[in-house]
Chains A and B, each alone.
Chain A
Amino acid sequence: MYEMVIGLEVHCELNTETKIFCGCKTTFGAEPNTQVCPVCMGMPGTLPVLNEKVVEYAIRAGLATNCKIREISKQDRKNYFYPDLPKAYQISQYDEPLCENGFLEIETQNGTKKIGITRIHIEEDAGKLIHDKEKGTLIDSNRCGVPLIEIVSEPDIRSAEEAIAYFKKLRAIILYTGISDCKMNEGSLRCDVNLSVRKKGAEQFGTRTEMKNLNSFAFIQKAIEYEFKRQVELIESGGEVIQETRRYDQVSGKTFSMRTKEDSNDYRYFPDPDLMPIITSKEKLAKIRSEIPPLPDERKKVYVQNYGLSSYDAELLTNEKEVADYFEKAAHYAQNKKTLANLIITEVLKLVEEDDIKIPPKSLAEISNLANDNKINSSVAKKLIKDIWNKDVDVNEYVNKHDLLQINDKILLKQYVLEAIADDPKSVLDYKSGKTIVIKSFIGKVMGKTGGRANPVIVTQLLEQELIK
């Protein structure tokens, strides 16, 4: 049996107003080459001047992921030729990154797991090449010099699910700290996956491959699954994995070799002589620490300890800051936080996949309270959320007007139960002969007859009584 060993390298564009080494704006989607100047264009004689905000933001990310922050850090040049890189070197950090030795915690099926963070460093982004059929290859330099942090994890990840959980958690933390908008579709959050395989129980790592620029959770998942299978099959058939960079093809769902280690660049890193060391005093660090808003894990802890939620549910609620903020606002009105949390996790999160939350927190709390008071059942509650989504209505009025209140009247429900039994004698026989699962079809029928309003607990009890008669 093989296991996969994964480490992620995540690039995240910081949402500072200006670029890392000049005063140009960083706004996404501007007309090509309108947010440029001689410095970010790498014109002769120009010099970089470090944007202090970038350091502050990166330190925020470091503190939020339990990293140690270097008192003295330096910036280095990574030298390589590419048309999107105007100076033919990228200013990055090599052996003295700003943040080191951190970790974050993810929820897995086997409980909480710590994933180590090797380092977080600052660097500048490159431009964008646009391949035009008629005009040839064009360069948009707007992105040149947009500040990035690169977050490198330890090879602690053992499955695609863990990789996604880590990536989601990291994204949540970054969003909470407010240093990036983390928009994967705009490229402000990008993920490279390093993956190797080894026999379970083996100590040594196998040879790894790197898959670059996976820009959605789904692609990360698929790329990992494919690459794991590819490597295992390769080894099983007597082959050997080569260290290389591979491209994930979204259409075929396969990975393809881009370049091997042999023809990869020697980046000739050396300290950038144009920039001074970055010095972070204890005072500065304390100030940055004091400015970090509560992080997902702090909120998670409150949800578990005070509201009685499971770690897993609390994690789901805190993955997105907006959702956590929403949950907390609604919780203010809700009698039972667990009921509320369930409604958010099962219904609201589904609806927000393509939308913002379009139901006021107070309305959701009212629905939750109705369910909690047994005035509506859970399926009605879910349907109700969908029905009043994006509509400005009063929940109680709506429930009354559409006659949605739960039927808890045993006498009334017994009539429906008896009708259902009478309609399907065959299933009654089945039930009596031990196929008790058919009770579900009876429940469904009663629900159908009552427009979904029957109290399912009472219906089940009545059915159990009547079916054995």
Chain B
Amino acid sequence: MYTVSELSEMLKNKKISSVEVTTEYLKKIDKKDKEIGAYLLVTKDEALKSAKEADKLISKGKSTALTGIPCAIKDNICTKDIRTTCASKMLEDFVPEYDAFVIEKLKQKNAVILGKLNMDEFAMGSSNENSHFKITRNPVNLERVPGGSSGGAAAAVAADLATFSLGSDTGGSIRQPASFCGVVGMKPTYGAVSRNGLVAFASSFDQIGPLTHTVRDSAMVLNAITGHDKYDSTSRAHTTTDFTKDLDKGVKDITIAIPKEYFEGAIQDDVKQSVLDAAKEYEKLGAKLKEVSMPSLKLALPAYYVISSAEASSNLSRFDGIRYGYRTSEYENIEELYKKSRSEGFGDEVKRRIMLGAFTLSAGYYDAYYKKAVEVRALIKQEFDEIFKESNAIISPVAPTTAYKIGQKTKNPLEMYLGDIYSVPINIAGVPALSIPCGKDKDGLPIGMQLIGDMFSEALLYQIANAF
């Protein structure tokens, strides 16, 4: 297994070449991914080509921290001339003619892209079981789900089929699979990473972020992908330029808030204990703990599902079978072309959210649902602001459970939604949050804790996480 930081040093010191390490990863994918199912597409030729390019740069002494590092990309991030499917039948043959902002960034840094990763269709789901193409298994326990929607991205790193991956997080889609697979997942501040080229699910929540083996790796990758993008109006230049700078500063005089609502209700006992133990560990390391309250937490989940589905219903309207993507084979008129293409091209969960979203935006229902949800959003943001007046960060579980069995929750969407309870408030508020492993449950499955920070406080979150 290589971490980004180790491999980066090895490459620079010519202990290994990028072509060698890339070949090693390609072989491993070939051997192991049949049982994991993390990849939807392996771009072998392109990977070897960019590895060669990277080696040339390294030999000239022109490398960056990510030069020659093999990574993989969630399949809702557009890659030029390489199929980008969103794990949907709708986009089975869709080949973008442009790179997402983050891909441009990785290419500028000469990272090696190994391929595209499985996910829940259009990033809607928490178990990767909503992929049109295949399920992904949790590398820790193959009977378990890897989480979702960036399940492939988490599994690829956990199984060491890539040194790091990029996922997207709309309501927990980076953090929850990171937690289920025992890796580090960062959901940056809304606007910190450009969404340009990320196929939109819920535009006001979506953020791209890294999944890595270590906290340091996460900081290194975030260094490469943040920055203002003039092609994303919601993008903002980050106040921090180097996220690794405070990694070793420890947690002395840091105040960590523990919101009691995050530890109540249907939470798995060992998850709760493990996160509370982690908090105690921080206290030992010199941090102050502070119990706080977030009364509106219970409103977060419904608000999230209303707003995200509303935005999704509109964002996914463009998949109409007219210009690209799936088109039904037989139709009599335009109406039928739309209906059949969309009915056949989308999976059940996607259709469920489109219908939910279209309903909440409909005349006569808008005020009761969408507008209310937007009010809740402001309330939740306010509560976070309050907490951050006195605390530097918040500690909480990422999800109420560890990885569950494949098929266990597919029959009950609502139960699946409940698993997002701790992760969605972060997207609603737009703040950054990091998921890091903090223990194992009784079955040996990874438990993740979540460190939540104020807007643009990623460097501090990394500092706290790295002290653990």
Contacts and interface: CB of A to CB of B under 8 A. Distances in A.
Contact of B317 (A43, A46, A83, A88): A88
A81 B100 CA distance: 26
A89 B203 CA distance: 14
A88 B320 contact: yes
Interface stretch (B53-61, B286-294, B356-364): B356-364
Given A81-B338, A268-B361, A274-B203, A44 B318 contact: yes
A86 B233 CA distance: 20
Contact of B231 (A44, A47, A88): A47
A47 B196 contact: yes
For chain B, what secondary structure do more than half of its interface residues adopt (helix, strand, loop), or is it mixed? loop
Given A45-B200, A86-B323, A275-B233, A81 B317 contact: yes
Interface string A47-85: 111100000000000000000000000000101010100
Contact of B96 (A44, A86, A270): A44
A407 B320 CA distance: 78
Contacts of A268: 313-314, 358, 361-363, 366
Interface in B273-324: 310-311, 313-314, 317-320, 322-324
A41 B361 contact: no
A87 B313 CA distance: 12
A433 to B, nearest CB: 76
A63 B168 CA distance: 44
B31 interface: no
Contact of A44 (B78, B313, B361): B78
B206 to A, nearest CB: 9
B199 interface: yes
Contacts of B196: 45-47
Contacts of A38: 96-98
A275 B234 CA distance: 7
Contacts of A89: 314, 317
Interface residues of B, number: 43
Given A45-B100, A87-B317, A89-B314, A276 B361 contact: no
Contact of A274 (B84, B234, B334, B358): B234
Contacts of B232: 47, 49
Contacts of B366: 268, 270
Interface string A275-316: 110000000000000000000000000000000000000000
B64 interface: no
B204 interface: yes
Given A45-B198, A48-B233, A81-B338, A270 B317 contact: no
A270 B234 CA distance: 17
13 contacts: A43-B97, A44-B318, A45-B100, A46-B197, A77-B314, A81-B338, A89-B317, A268-B363, A268-B366, A269-B361, A270-B361, A273-B234, A276-B233
Top 4 closest pairs, chain A to chain B, by CB: A88-B317, A273-B204, A268-B361, A273-B203
Given A45-B96, A270-B310, A274-B200, 11 more contacts: A38-B97, A44-B84, A45-B196, A47-B233, A49-B230, A49-B231, A79-B314, A139-B323, A266-B363, A268-B362, A276-B233
